[in-house]
Every structure is written in C-alpha cells, then in structure tokens.
Chains A and B, each alone.
Chain A
Amino acid sequence: MATYYFNLHDGSPCTDKADAGDEAVSAGRAIKRDDVPDGVESWRLSWNGSAVVVYAEGKDDAGAVAQALKDNEDEAAANLVKEQDIIKAQVVEAKQRKEDGLEV
C-alpha cells in the first residue's frame, strides 16, 4: 500500500510528497491515507469522506482511460436525447403560440 494525501474540499488528489502533504494536513486542507493501492495513477484516486476510491478499479491505466472515454460518450449520448426533447418541446410550444395568436 502507498501513502497519498487528498484535498478535503473535494476529495481530489493533493500530493504524495510528505512535506507538502503534512503541511496541508496540519492546516486542515487535506487528509493523509496509507491504504492507497500501489501503482494506480493519481487521476484515478479520490477520497469520498470515508474511503479511498479508485476509478475503474481492477483495470490498468489504459483500461481506465478507455473507460473514461466511454463514460463521456455515454454521458454525451444521454445529454443529446435530453437536449433534443427540449428543443422539440420548444418547437411545439412556438407552434401553439402562433396558433393561439400570441406570436406572429
């Protein structure tokens, strides 16, 4: 297991350096954890307030990057559906307003 410090304000990785990390802990800005899995890139690490979380746990870093790209694509697809529904509703509303004589 490795040691890592996490920012308390959002659980993001702070540092793995003792000097800067200990100062952040003493100032109440970070938490020190000694139970961080070895060999995991820091961008995958976070602190959820009670435990260290590893993004795409069980995958290597290349697998985690691929997972992040897929997650983003899935999010974009879901957002696009939502967006198109809103725009369709706006068109219907605009048409209705014209039919009601509220808009020319």
Chain B
Amino acid sequence: MSNYSTLLGGGSAAGAIDHRKEALPLFGFWGDNSDQNTHMTYRVFDSGFKETGSPWGAISNSTTNYRFGITGDASFSYSHNDHGTHVSHHDLTSQGYSSWTYWNKSLYQCDQYPHAQFYTSSRDGMVSWHSLHEYTSSFEYQNGWCKLNMVLPEGIRPRRMFLNRRFTMREQYPGNHACPNVDYYNYSSHLLNTDQTYATGTGYNEKNKTLVMIHSGDEGGNTSKTIHIFKGTKCLNKIDRIKEYFDNLSSTEYFTDTWTTHNNKDWCVVVGNNDFVGFGQKNSNSKRYGVFDCSVKGTGVAITGASRQWETWQTFQGSTTTSYGAWTGHQYYTKFNTTWDGTWGMIYSPYYHYGPGINGFCMNLENPKKFISVNQTKSSRSNPWFSWGRTGFHGGWSDNCDGTSHRTYAFCFDPTDSDETTTTRVYQGGDSGDTICPNNNNLVGSDITNKTGNIGLSYSRTWLHGGFHSTNYPLLMQIDWWGNYGNNDSTYGGKYGS
C-alpha cells in the first residue's frame, strides 16, 4: 500500500524518501525603512543565496500598507505594535529578551527546531510575529531548555517535540500555554538510580535509538549528576506513545559523576552514532565540553564518570567576554543545532551579553570526540545562526548594508571527517570568486587541532540587500520548511514510517 513516503520514493519501500526530509536549508531575509510603513521586503533564499520567492515583496509606498495592514499580522496593525514599529533597525548590544525588537536578532531566537521564539515563517515567505503574551509566558521562554537534542538523518529537523523534566517525558505541540501535552509518561520505573531527580539535558540519536539523559540535584547549579543511557529497539520518533519506547528497551545503564556546572538548564547532550556522547554547556563567560563512552558495558559495570570519560573536560578556546546563560533567565539556555546533512552539530551561545557573536563547540555526530571551538566576536549588529548548505552553518551579521555589502559568517565541515586523531578542516568563503577558487593550490579555510583548537570565523560578502535602498540592517530569519499543512504539519506530522 502506498503512503506519502513510498510515493515520494517512487513506490518502492527500499527507495523511499523519509517524508520528513527537507531540501537544503532556506533562510528568510527581512529589510525595511525604519518605520516599516514606506518600504519593507521579506524574501526567502536558498543556501546558494538564490531567491526562492516571496509573496510580500511588493509592500511599499502607501500609507494604507502599515506593515501588515494588508497581510494581517496580529502583532502589528494600525494601532498595535507589540514588536515596535520596525523589527530590523534596532541594534542588539546588551539588551535582553524583554527588548522585543532588538531580540529578533539574538542568537537565542533559533536552534535545530523549525520554530523561532518570536515568529514563524514558512518556506513560501509567510511570516508572522507572535503576540508578546504568547511567547513570554509560553513554551520557549520557560521550557525550551527541556527539549531533546536530536541527532537525525540527512535533511531532517525534529518534527516531534519531546520534553524531559524531573522523571517525566512529555510530547508537546510547540506553541503557547494553551497547547496541552499530547503524551505523558513517567519513566521512573526504568531508572536504575534515582539519587538525582531533575532531568536537565537529554539527547537522542535516531540511528542507534539511544536516549541519554542527565539528572541533576536541581535545576540550578547543583553539580551532582546521574546519567542514564537507554537503548531502544523502537525509534522514539516512530512510536505512537512514549511508553512504547521505554517498554522496548534493549539496554539500560547509568553512571554518576560530579560536573562543574553553572546552571543545569544549559546542558546539551549530543549522542553520537558511535555511542560516544558529548555533554556541553555555557559556563560563566566560557563553555565546557566533555565526552563519555556510553556504549553497552553491562548492568552495574562502569557506573562512575571516570570509568567512561574520554580524555578531559575541554574549556572553550576562543575569545570570551561578558555573556550570560540560563542562570540569568531560563530563556537564555545553551542552544544545539546540526548541519543539514546531520553529520556535524554545534553547542553554542552568544559571545556577548544576550545575543551577538558566537561561542561554540562544533562536534562530529558520527564521533563526538571529534570537536573544535568556534568563535565570532561581534558585540553588536548580530543575527541568529542557521544550518547552511550541506554541512555548514551561517549567520551573525546585521550591519547597515547601505553603501556596503551584507555579509554572513559562513563555514562548513567535511561530512566524512570523523577521526579525532586528525585536524578538523573548516571551509570558509572569501571576498570574491577568485579568493574562493584561487589561482593556486591553497586551502580556502583552515585545519584546526582537535579538542584544543579554535577557529575565528571570517565574513563573506553576500551582496544581498534588504528592503530599503538607504539605511537598513537586514534580519536573518528561521524558516519552518513544513509549515502547517495537514498531514505534513511541521510538528506532530513528523512521525515517520507506516
């Protein structure tokens, strides 16, 4: 019997394309004059910076077109301006999330999940900001840190959202506090050690069906840790009820340890294909990352962190300055994202205060022992970071593109590069075509020493332009590829297979 997956794959189960799969990443590009009532454009580009179309490109030059008077955005009409009279001209330096318009450009807006904190944009360019009262009291602000960090196949972002807090896993439809859970399961009967009772970081790897969760002594700065490692025979993203995953475990193990912690809501868990797991978090102005062997050892074996840890904890190696994490507000939790092809991941947070620049560890998802520090030190005019191209990320730049080119900090990795004993190759762009494909045999990029190396990201000119032919500071925006189209809904429609 045909279903959506087999139809896409030509009717053969063996050749079926996972219906969750997206094409290479898109990003939105917003530009306006400073009141948005005269000039505004919003366009969607692909990873080659080629426009994919925008239905809103022609709103300009009419006082009847007050931003979204025609297109009907609930957050802004003639007399309502939840997000201010413009969204892109504001600088972001030291402002926090309550500085609404500034916050559009914060690194914290986006992560590996398709939704953004303040807005939603489809691949067709339909963009809408949320009401302040939706996001300030809703899921991302208070509970986003509970989301699972997902390691998924090529082209797939998380399409279902599982949350882990205390001893309970829930599935939820992302939205405001009116959105109920769609599933609930208390897994405490499956735990081998319940000394620590606060789930503060969970990762899942779809290839080996491995779920790894940290339990801590509190949701603050408690350093006591119990790490559980569950291996399932059913995929968490494929089952109907969370209970099915836990009812079909092939292995359950744990270890305990004491980890330097600033705030437990910052922990990210990256479950590698090779059963090594990377744990990382923001720690004061810096960041820490450690790798543990979470392969099957046997019940009661290797129950201490020391017996499983690979080498030592690594401190972030790039430049640091005053910046904050979940200890100043749960919405400032450390982010996780992956490249489109699912071969590299990134644990990251701002370089400066609540949004600009980036301090991150990038790790190979086949083997999380393969990792480097990544750094970009802007202290103003930032933009969020997204997956870019097949194996990369980009973002960071929002300076005025009047008289100069818009730029982006773009970088990418080798998807086959998973050997931690060799350097990591980072490819970067250049200032012109001839610097990207030069008349010599030089690498355009850098080879970075594993673990202790750092790459300071350089910018590339994109020549993109946003909205208004004078002053404008274009805003890079997250695209929810799937939007909300019935069975292809971006969230619960993510269950795959028959």
Residues of A within 8 A of B (CB): 4, 7, 9-10, 12-17, 19-20, 23-24, 27, 29-30, 41-43, 61, 65, 68-69, 72, 76, 79-80, 82-83, 86-87, 90
Contacts and interface: CB of A to CB of B under 8 A. Distances in A.
B318 A14 contact: yes
Interface stretch (B3-11, B442-450, B488-496): B442-450
B468 A83 contact: yes
B34 A79 contact: yes
A79 B471 contact: yes
Which 4 pairs show the lowest CB-CB distances between chains A and B? A20-B454, A43-B379, A79-B471, A13-B319
Given A15-B317, A19-B452, A29-B446, A76 B94 contact: no
A72 B456 contact: no
Interface in B240-255: none
A14 B319 contact: yes
Interface residues of B, number: 39
A15 B454 contact: yes
Given A15-B319, A82-B470, A9 B452 contact: no
17 contacts: A9-B458, A12-B319, A12-B377, A12-B378, A13-B319, A14-B319, A20-B317, A20-B373, A20-B454, A27-B447, A42-B320, A43-B351, A72-B380, A76-B89, A79-B34, A79-B89, A87-B38
A23 B61 CA distance: 53
B91 interface: yes
Interface of B: 33-34, 38, 61, 89, 91, 93-94, 317-322, 351-352, 373, 375-380, 400, 402, 446-449, 452-454, 456, 458-459, 468-471
A20 B380 contact: no
Contact of B458 (A10, A15, A42, A87): A10
A75 B322 CA distance: 24
B446 A27 contact: yes
Contacts of B373: 20
B454 A14 contact: yes
